[in-house]
Amino acid sequence: MKTMSERDIEKSYSKEDFVSKLRRLADCIEKNENFRISVAGEAIYVPDRAEFTIEHERGDGAHELEFQVKWKDEA
């Protein structure tokens, strides 16, 4: 069985694109539906069983706020 390779991508979006993606994600969460998004050319399917967290980091006068969606592959 093939395993997926590890990946760590960060992609910038315009404010309009970011809002659109967040809105689609929120709609799927409310409807208990899976969410599909393409990031750097790869289609990602987020299952409705995903967990959601918000993380804040601060240091050296900079802040980072991450809205995280996490899930594990089903066996």
The model's pTM is 0.79
- pLDDT at res. 64: 95
Rounded alpha-carbon distances, angstroms, from residue 17 to 22, 23, 44, 51, 62: 9, 10, 17, 23, 24
Confidence of residue 4 (pLDDT cuts 50, 70, 90): low
Confidence of residue 1 (pLDDT cuts 50, 70, 90): very low
